[in-house]
Amino acid sequence: MTSTRDNLRGIVTMLCAVSLLSLMDAGLKQLSAHYPPLQVCALRALSSWPFVAIWVASTTGFRSVFRVRWGLHLFRGAIGISTLSAFVFGIRYLPLSTAYTLFFVAPLIITALSALVLRERVQPARWIIIGVGFAGVLIALRPTGHGVFTWAGIAILFGATGYAISAITVRVLGRTDSTQSMVFWVLTLMGLGSAALAAPGWVRISGDDWLLIGAVGVVGGLGQFAITDAFRRAEASVIAPIEYTALAWSINFDAWVWHVLPDAMTWVGAAVIIASGVYLIRHERGAQSEAPAQVQP
């Protein structure tokens, strides 16, 4: 059974992962305007690969990454290619904040799968917190159908489903495989697989984009490690709602980079979403402080 301390560490790690991956997504949106989705997927994975390889070599060594459950790694690599390519397609046509809002169905899917597949006990308080967060998503989105019934919106929802499945796979792999092996193989398989698929329509990379690709590689590699470690360390249903904090990042990027200003309802929804994540942390911290008293005679 996962301890409360591990859940809290997972929450902190997830907060770091979300901030890093939000920066990466902003870079991917910039690249998506010039390159096909599969090529962007390949550039994202391959640009992070050298940094991950150095990290693996300096910690466990490469020998350890070959003692893994190959079937699940291959499955996760395929899911990663389809998920990221769909997400890149979606953010090419949608504001980042709208794409994130649609993507926030993922924590609900993760919570349901964690109960059905992993047999994790999802406490009523967590369901309530997740429900409040999802209500914030609806406030920000305003359930009018905008962005959902388009190919871009459908692609984002498809990506969210794939992400949820991948997160559950990490929890299963974490029982036997190291964090290093999971990060290394998902990037390797995504990079090689998407590059092979993108090869027929590969677009020559502009010299001005290499710096952006390098930045995507750095923050993407760090974010990939952090999110993998978070799902390996903590219960999936605990850390999934932390994804909601990405909406705050996306609103800022939309305003500063693409000059798309969110309206008042989006701000209200963002406030509700972030508040639910903060309350989750306080709930877990309270559970940890009460734990010693429960074992005293």
Domain presence at residue 94: yes
Query: What domain range is 272 assigned to?
Result: 4-199+241-285
Confidence label for 199 from pLDDT (cuts 50, 70 and 90): very high
Confidence label for 92 from pLDDT (cuts 50, 70 and 90): very high
The answer to whether the CB of 85 falls within 8 A of the CB of 193 is no
Domain presence at residue 118: yes
Domain presence at residue 207: no
User: Residue range 82-108: average pLDDT?
Assistant: 88
Domain presence at residue 230: no
pLDDT in tens, 125-180: 777 877 888 788 778 766 555 545 578 888 988 998 999 899 889 888 988 998 88
Model's pTM, two decimal places? 0.80
Overall domain count for the chain: 1
Domain presence at residue 25: yes
The answer to whether the CB of 55 falls within 8 A of the CB of 187 is no
Distant-in-sequence, close-in-space partners of 138: CB < 8 Å, separation ≥ 6: 269
Domain presence at residue 206: no
Residue 134 falls in which region: left (phi positive, over 0), alpha (psi -120 to 50) or beta = alpha
Domain presence at residue 231: no
The closest alpha carbon to 10, from 250, 193, 209, 280, belongs to 280
Domain presence at residue 276: yes
